[in-house]
Chain A
């Protein structure tokens, strides 16, 4: 794939379509018809994040939106939905990214869920 923007787009699309799975380099490379080596080389050259950080960030940010708008779903269920094998590893990753636990994040009295709507 010559165009790295398309590679990043398609990688994002793949991750977002497989949020509940543990995503591997092999799958992402196959998704854009490249070898693992070639995919990783291009990704590394053009992305400011490592591939792992990129996957983790997309998943955690999507889970952050989801837990705000689905207040009756448990953190354990959310962890499974976003490809974590248990709530403890999800909470650890979440805290590392957002600086707070998923529960704290959910219960903050801000208007983040309302501002899902604040598009432009």
Chain B
């Protein structure tokens, strides 16, 4: 994995999301279906804007602290800030805001763990930035890799003070 460029950004993102509760293995099995559910909602509500809409995965808990059956992972999609949206079914609206360290990665499907590890162990902990208590997430700048060889651009957002 190539060393990423890390920038400091102030985010103010409105999202729709579906939250999954359960182990990461179960999440992996269900994630495609959840993203499809999100896309279907976004399409039927005319929320998809080419070159603007991004999808993300939000990790709410730490698997070494929270019981694995209670781990929360959300699949989410950015939506325009002012369009009225009516929540429906399992889909909720919220906002992500605040300061983040953002690692800009070009990685394969097998390198996500290393990318997260880089952001905490090599960028955050030894550096000058202080962690902020908010949820970190990965934002898919381009479509996530469909196989283990191809790479895609993914930004990892770490909340900082």
Contact = CB atoms under 8 A, between A and B. Distances in A.
B113 A110 contact: no
A70 B131 CA distance: 7
Contacts of B61: 61
Give the bracket for the number of chain B residues in contact with chain A.
35 or more
Given A61-B61, A65-B62, A117 B90 contact: no
A64 B62 contact: yes
Contacts of A16: 60, 134-135
Contacts, number: 77
Interface in A50-82: 61-62, 64-66, 69-70, 81
Interface of A: 3, 5-6, 9-10, 12-13, 16, 19, 61-62, 64-66, 69-70, 81, 110, 112-120
Contacts of B138: 119
Which label, helix, strand, loop or mixed, suits the secondary structure of the A interface?
Answer: helix
Given A6-B92, A61-B61, A66-B133, 14 more contacts: A6-B91, A9-B17, A13-B94, A16-B134, A70-B130, A113-B120, A115-B62, A116-B62, A117-B113, A117-B117, A118-B113, A119-B24, A119-B112, A119-B138
B119 A115 contact: no
8 contacts: A3-B90, A61-B62, A65-B62, A66-B131, A69-B131, A70-B131, A113-B120, A119-B113
B20 to A, nearest CB: 10
Nearest to A110: B64
Nearest to B70: A57
B53 interface: no
The residue among B72, B89, B119, B131 with the most chain A CB atoms within 10 A of its own CB is B131
B143 interface: no
B83 interface: no
A39 B112 CA distance: 39
A13 B97 CA distance: 13
A92 to B, nearest CB: 18
B125 A113 contact: yes
A112 B28 contact: no
A69 B125 contact: yes
A117 B92 CA distance: 26
Interface string B36-76: 00000000000000000000000111111110000010000
